[in-house]
Amino acid sequence: MTVMRQAQTPFRCVGLFGRPQTEGLAAPLRRIITCVRQMGIAVWVEQDTASSAGLKAGEIDGQSGLAELSKIIDLAIILGGDGTLLGVARQLAPTGTALIGVNQGRLGFMTDLDIAQVESELPAVLQGDYVEEERAMLQVSVMRKKSGSSARTAVFDAPALNDAVISRGAISRMVEVEVFVDGHYLQTLRADGLIISTPTGSTAYALSALGSILHPALAGITLVPVAPQALSSRPIVLPESVEVQVVVNDGAGTSLHCDMQSLTSLEDGDKIVVRHGAHKVRLLHPRGYDYFVMLRRKLHWSTNPLFAGRPDPLPPTEPHVST
């Protein structure tokens, strides 16, 4: 859901997060800190980020770990790429804290405010003039049978904002899994893996595996096979309300990861259960944010390969329709 907001009370306290040990981290952090403090808003910095950037006590209002920051901030500014934002968003989602990403990565589907735009775009956001989106999450569990028992117990549980990916390990063999939707058998899949994606993750790994792009406002989950043995195995989009169960039949060396950040090894007989998550991520964008402009720029749609690097084209005018 997208909500337009304006002319609201400024945020009281901003938390600033970066990717520790990143070269050149200090200068862009200080630009953001200066911009926020000029608005009269307190700035706290995640402690590893502050240490990596060499920030001194007088430059910021304080530093702490993420768990403590989540109790005092009402806006998180994440400097980095999508991976950095994913890591912070997964942990802040239960608190309802709003997030905005400042892109210092490569592609940046979610961190859409460039560092060059901080002074021109961020003050308006801090004054409450922004576009807000809620992004759905998944909750992913692995259920495993106890030795000598048919009962399964949870051995892994994690949220996912982008996707849950079942993939083969270093061994050169396919994974074989059975897929069920709300208890109904869907298919037995032999493939290099299976991606279970949110709309947010549809422009990530799922897109590389020829999955469909889902608009973030859609309430859906996509199942995308990775290099399936059967050419008839195709991606499918499901309602977000369903429960997807994947049973590992032959999975020596198989692993499961959520957003490439939480990882566990799988065993034959494991059941992966994927449900709609209980929390949503609140993403803020500058006024004028347009999802379709973002897609054109990131994916180079409408770009003539003979003129690579030209500016984003203006939207075409509506064609005249005679009556």
Instruction: List residues with catalytic annotation.
Output: 82
> Residue 9 gets which letter from DSSP?
P
Long-range contact set of residues 123-126: C-beta below 8 Å, sequence gap at least 24 = 123/35, 123/38, 123/39, 124/286, 124/287, 125/100, 125/284, 125/286, 125/287, 126/10, 126/11, 126/14, 126/35, 126/36, 126/39, 126/41, 126/75
The CA-CA-CA angle for residues 234, 212, 203, to 5°, reads 130
What is the C-alpha to C-alpha distance for residues 156 and 133, in angstroms, rounded to an integer? 29
What is the C-alpha to C-alpha distance for residues 214 and 196, in angstroms, rounded to an integer? 13
Tell me if 128 sits within 8 A of 118, measured CB to CB. no
For residue 33, give Cα distances in angstroms to 13, 18, 20, 40, 105.
12, 12, 16, 11, 19
Q: Which residues contact 3 (CB under 8 A, 6 or more apart)?
A: 131, 132, 133
Q: Which residues contact 26 (CB under 8 A, 6 or more apart)?
A: 53, 54, 55
For residue 182, give Cα distances in angstroms to 16, 132, 156.
40, 32, 20
